[in-house]
Amino acid sequence: MSEFHVRAVAEGEQRACLEVLEQALHAKPISDEDWAKMAPSWPAAGKFAAFDDHDTPVGISSSFDIELTVPGGRKLVTAAVDGVAVRADWTRRGILTTMMSAQLEDFAARGVPLAALHASEGVIYGRYGYGAATFDRGVFVERPRAQVRDGVGRDGVVRFVTPAEAVERVPALYNRFEGTRPGFAARPAQWWPGFFDRLVTGDGGYRVAIHSGPDGDDGFVVYQTIDTRDRTAPERGAILEIRELHAGTPEAWAGLWRFLLSVDLVSGVAGRGRPLDEPIAALLTDPRAVNTTEIIDELWVRLVDVLTALRARTYGTAEPVVLEVLDKQLPDNNGRYLVGPGGVERTTAEAELRLDVAELASLYFGQGFFRDLVVAGRIEVLDEGAVDRADALFHTARAAWCGTFF
Ligand SMILES: CC(C)(COP(=O)(O)OP(=O)(O)OC[C@H]1O[C@@H](n2cnc3c(N)ncnc32)[C@H](O)[C@@H]1OP(=O)(O)O)[C@@H](O)C(=O)NCCC(=O)NCCS
């Protein structure tokens, strides 16, 4: 059997590595035209690949640095893991495990405190210390049943822009939204060509509309329509599918929804990957026009530097708790941490709760509860009173949401 070796990707090897990813994800081979759009978002830097005896890539693990807003509003440098795959004829021989180790050691050596990814399956990344930390929702809003309440979302103007205008205007617009929602991603220049420009200038029929309020442009939506009409059901309209909807003000958000729900010959507006707490039902005269079609994990997060990550976020009001963290891949993280509203320190005090770094990661963005993981046997309790304290400290009222695909 041939052997593999894992090393950093060299300049000129990126396209072959992208082919490995596309094939593993069952996507079409990438055309020259598509590669030209994708290349700026797929540099050699930040990539580790597995190669066979002939130096042909058979596995890829890619990342680039972004900033994520953590609970409390601070931004933390985060390695956004944007492509992980092993060629089907090389799977289950430890390639992913070897690539993940190389990548985690690189993040730690560079002082990157967090890593995040979108997982294709729920069973892959826990073993590497990642936990499902933010969640999103699929919605289907029925038309014509959905009517936006009077007096909201009427003050602004929505206009279509061409793909070229969208490429020029939307990045600067998005960068102004830097809100306080935990999970928000500042999108670096590298992100836009492969993830946004390629989408809106491609042949998927995506339309971009921008909302303007009293202070200028303040929101945008990217959507496509899927025509489901036929002669046997003439009343059935198209489905309008939102790909992205971001707004800088509540009025811009309501104005964009008002616009989407006004498009003729549409029987429903569908959105995947929306925030759990997006108040669409509250916006409508009939809240039952909104259906939740799924709730699913969004970002899987890895605390690469536990102390730095814990210190970056804020905490609710409760007495401090002593957590003992176990980390097989990055043993520098092993140890006890005193976590409270006044700050976070390493401590020699007795542990009250003992948990793996993956469990801590899943609670880091303020979603989920220590109590639930205790019930599921995933947190060891050494002091029962610590469970409620830990929940009071970590849980946040606002739902963490990223809303940026990578
Ligand atoms: C997921 C994928 C990267 C795994 O690569 P791999 O090289 O086969 O993984 P490894 O051999 O290092 O496996 C490590 C462990 O994870 C398990 N594992 C890996 N992928 C798994 C999967 N999809 N389902 C269940 N278990 C999986 C292995 O069984 C192994 O377990 P063990 O340590 O108990 O023996 C590969 O199957 C793949 O490319 N799949 C299609 C694309 C994809 O889903 N990519 C991820 C995008 S987020």
Of the pLDDT bands very low, low, confident and very high (cuts 50, 70, 90), residue 2 is low
Own/partner contacts of 72-75, CB < 8 Å, gap of 24 or more, are: 72/312, 72/313, 72/314, 73/180, 73/314, 74/312, 74/313, 75/186
At 331 the pLDDT is: 98
State whether the beta carbon of 24 lies less than 6 angstroms from ligand 1: yes
- Given a cut of 70, whether residue 394 has pLDDT beyond it is yes
User: Out of 3.40.630.30, 3.40.309.10, 3.40.50.1860, 3.80.30.20, which CATH number does the structure's domain 137-296 have?
Assistant: 3.40.630.30
Q: Which CATH entry fits the domain spanning 5-112: 3.40.630.30, 3.10.20.600, 3.20.20.140, 3.40.50.300?
A: 3.40.630.30
User: Is ligand 1 within 6 A of the CB of residue 97?
Assistant: yes
Q: Which residue's CA is the closest to the ligand 1 atom numbered 36?
A: 86
Residue 26, phi then psi, degrees to nearest 5: 60, 35
Residue 393 per-residue DSSP state = H
What residues have CB less than 8 Å from 16, skipping those under 6 apart? 56, 57
Distance CA 122, CA 16 (A): 27
Separation of 80 CA from ligand 1 center, angstroms? Answer: 19
Residue nearest to atom 4 of ligand 1 (CA): 96
Overall average pLDDT of the 25-31 stretch: 94
Q: What is the mean pLDDT of residues 175-183?
A: 86
* Pocket probe mutation, ligand 1, options 21, 81, 91, max atoms within 8 Å of Cβ: 91
CA of 389 to the centre of ligand 1 (A): 36
Average pLDDT over residues 169-184: 91
Q: Measured from the CA of 97, which atom of ligand 1 is nearest?
A: 12
Q: Take residue 14 and report the two structure tokens written for it.
A: 């990126």
Q: Can you tell me which atom of ligand 1 is nearest the CA of 100?
A: 12
Distance CA 281, CA 148 (A): 9
Pocket lining: 99 vs ligand 1, CB cutoff 6 Å: no
Q: Is the pLDDT of residue 225 over 80?
A: yes
Q: Do domains 5-112 and 137-296 have the same CATH topology?
A: yes
For residue 120, give the ligand 1 atom closest to its CA. 48
What are the domain boundaries of the chain?
5-112, 137-296, 304-394
In a mutational test of the pocket of ligand 1, which residue from 51, 87, 96 has the highest number of ligand atoms less than 8 Å from its CB? 96
183 in Cβ contact with 297 (< 8 Å) = no
For the sheet with 207-213, list strands across it: 157-161, 207-213, 216-226, 238-247, 266-275, 135-142, 290-297
Residue 148 alpha carbon to ligand 1 centre in Å: 45
> Which CATH number fits the domain 304-394, given the four candidates 3.30.420.130, 3.30.1050.10, 1.10.3720.10, 3.40.50.12640?
3.30.1050.10
Residues contacting 248, CB < 8 A, separation 6+: 173, 176, 177, 179, 218, 219
Q: Could you tell me the distance, in angstroms and rounded to a whole number, from the CA of residue 124 to the centre of ligand 1? A: 6
Distance from C-alpha of 158 to C-alpha of 255, rounded to nearest angstrom:
8
Q: Which residues are annotated as a binding site for acetyl-CoA?
A: 84-86, 92-97, 120-121
- Buried-state track 289-321, b at ≥16 Cβ within 10 A, e below 16: bbeeeeeebbbbbbbbbbbbbbbbbebeebebb
**CA–CA gap between residue 132 and residue 372 (Å, rounded):** 14
Q: Examine the pLDDT at 306 and tell me if it is beyond 60.
A: yes
Burial category of 11 from C-beta neighbours within 10 Å (exposed 0-12, middle 13-18, buried 19 and up): exposed
CA terminus-to-terminus distance, the chain: 34
Q: Given this model, what pLDDT does residue 233 score?
A: 76
Q: Known catalytic residues?
A: 125, 406
Residue-wise pLDDT for 144-163, tens only, equals 999 999 999 999 999 999 99
Q: How confident is the model at residue 375 (pLDDT cuts 50, 70, 90)?
A: very high
pLDDT tens digits, 254-294: 999 999 999 999 999 999 999 999 999 999 999 999 999 99
Best of 48, 60, 86, 406 for a ligand 1 pocket test (most atoms within 8 Å of beta carbon)? 86
pLDDT digits (tens, 9 = 90+) for 108-117: 999 999 999 9
Ligand 1 centroid to 128 CA: how many Å? 11
Q: Per DSSP, what are the bridge partners of residue 141?
A: 269, 290
Phi, psi of 336 (to 5 degrees): -105, 145
Question: Among 82-96, 185-199, 218-232, 367-381, whose mean pLDDT is lowest?
Answer: 218-232
Q: 240: which 2 tokens?
A: 């309008």
The predicted structure's pLDDT at residue 63: 98
The predicted structure's pLDDT at residue 178: 74
Please give the distance, rounded to the nearest whole angstrom, from the Cα atom of residue 147 to the centre of ligand 1: 46
The pLDDT, as a whole number, for residue 1 is 57
Looking at ligand 1, which atom is closest to the CA of residue 25? 42
Residue type, 269: V
Is any ligand 1 atom within 6 A of the Cβ of residue 121?
yes
DSSP state of 124: S
Question: What mean pLDDT is predicted for residues 174-178?
Answer: 87
What is the mean pLDDT of the segment spanning 74-80?
97
pLDDT at 348: 98
What does the pLDDT read at residue 333?
98
Q: What is the pLDDT of residues 325-360, one digit of tens each?
A: 999 999 999 999 999 999 999 999 999 999 999 999
Question: Phi and psi for 134 in degrees, rounded to 5?
Answer: -130, 160
Tell me which residue of 52, 62, 64 sits closest to 6, measured CA to CA: 52
